[in-house]
């Protein structure tokens, strides 16, 4: 083999490698637009929080962090858990440790919460996670935590037909879905995104059902991915903790 041909082959390999690297970076950067955290509710402690032991609404992730740390636990993940009223009370259903603190809302109205179908994310007393349409929800007395919001993002494996591909209705969004292995995935867009693309994220992960939680006010605390937002003025907050050793 001549020296000229060897140089040609080496140059070709370099170009192919560069192309592969470029493709990999491009592919990964698409995923970087959405921050996500997967929870195994069978082995991790996921709870819905609203007030502290004195009955004071927590409101911010920082206040939640301080609260759980006072109980010798570490906050691994936190995210606002749905919409709320002006007084920071939950909008729609809220169940905490088996107690219904706010009833299911089946009425009609304006805004994202009432964009049908809306839905409920809940965890049973045996730690099974579920996302379902509001109309399909039934409290059988075996629900440990529940929060209602809307609209549904993914319904029976399909994107909510109310969403339009290419919509210019852009916003920061966060939501929750159930993965094929029955783990829970929480996601928040790092940049403004429309409902269709956000729902498509859950669909591509294989979620048969996924629920929108809230929009521009959304915050996520996930230090393992160097994403630390501890502000906020929320109602219910999702938190995953571990006991300090």
The sheet carrying 73-80 orders its strands as 45-49, 237-243, 73-80, 220-222, 227-228
- pLDDT for the residue numbered 31: 52
Look up the pTM and report it.
Answer: 0.86
104 and 17 assigned to the same domain:
no
* Residue of higher predicted confidence among 1 and 236: 236
CA distance 133 to 144: 18
Q: What DSSP line would sit under 121-134, residue for residue?
A: EEEETT--EEEEEG
Dihedral pair phi/psi, residue 13, rounded to 5°? -65, -40
Could you read off the pLDDT of 71-93 as tens digits, one per residue? 999 999 999 999 999 999 999 99
120 and 145 assigned to the same domain:
yes
List beta partners, residue 77. Answer: 240
Q: Is the pLDDT of residue 26 over 50?
A: no
95 and 200 assigned to the same domain:
yes
9 and 106 assigned to the same domain:
no
Could you read off the pLDDT of 87-134 as tens digits, one per residue? 999 999 999 999 999 999 999 999 999 999 999 999 999 999 999 999
139 and 26 assigned to the same domain:
no
Q: Is the pLDDT of residue 153 over 70?
A: yes
8 and 113 assigned to the same domain:
no
Domain that holds residue 14: 1-32
Within 10 angstroms of residue 135's Cβ, the number of other Cβ atoms is 12
- C-alpha distances in Å from residue 169, one per residue of 37, 46, 163, 166, 192: 25, 32, 10, 9, 9
106 and 180 assigned to the same domain:
yes
Could you read off the pLDDT of 169-225 as tens digits, one per residue? 999 999 999 999 999 999 999 999 999 999 999 999 999 999 999 999 999 999 999
Place 245 in a pLDDT band, splitting at 50, 70 and 90. confident
164 and 54 assigned to the same domain:
yes
Pairing of strands 34-39, 184-189: antiparallel
- Locate all alpha helices (DSSP H) within the chain, ordered by sequence: 3-31, 61-69, 195-204
114 and 221 assigned to the same domain:
yes
Q: For the chain, what is the domain count?
A: 2
143 and 24 assigned to the same domain:
no
| CB 149 within 8 Å of CB 212 | yes
- pLDDT for the residue numbered 195: 98
212 and 126 assigned to the same domain:
yes
Pairing of strands 73-80, 220-222: antiparallel
142 and 51 assigned to the same domain:
yes
pLDDT averaged over every residue in the chain: 90
């Amino acid at each position: 083999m001549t020296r000229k041909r060897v140089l040609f082959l080496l140059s070709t390999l370099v170009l192919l490698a560069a192309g592969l690297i470029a493709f990999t970076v491009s592919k990964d950067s698409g995923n970087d637009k959405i921050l996500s955290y997967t929870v195994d509710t069978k082995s991790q402690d996921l709870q819905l929080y609203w007030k502290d032991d004195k009955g004071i609404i927590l409101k911010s992730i920082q206040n939640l962090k301080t609260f759980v740390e006072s109980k010798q636990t570490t906050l691994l993940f936190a995210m606002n858990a749905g919409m709320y009223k002006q007084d920071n009370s939950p909008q729609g259903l809220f169940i905490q440790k088996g107690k219904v603190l706010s009833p299911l809302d089946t009425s009609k109205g304006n805004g994202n919460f009432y964009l049908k179908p809306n839905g409920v994310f809940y965890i049973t007393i045996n730690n099974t996670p579920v996302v379902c349409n509001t109309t399909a929800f039934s409290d059988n007395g075996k629900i440990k935590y529940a929060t209602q919001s809307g609209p549904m993002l993914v319904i029976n494996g399909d994107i909510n037909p109310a969403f339009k591909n290419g919509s210019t209705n852009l916003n920061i969004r966060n939501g929750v879905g159930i993965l094929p292995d029955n783990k829970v995935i929480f996601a928040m867009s790092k940049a403004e995104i429309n409902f269709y693309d956000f729902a498509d994220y859950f669909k591509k992960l294989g979620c048969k059902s996924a629920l929108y939680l809230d929009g521009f006010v959304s915050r996520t605390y996930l230090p393992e991915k160097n994403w630390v937002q501890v502000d906020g003025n929320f109602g219910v907050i999702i938190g995953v903790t571990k006991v300090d050793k």
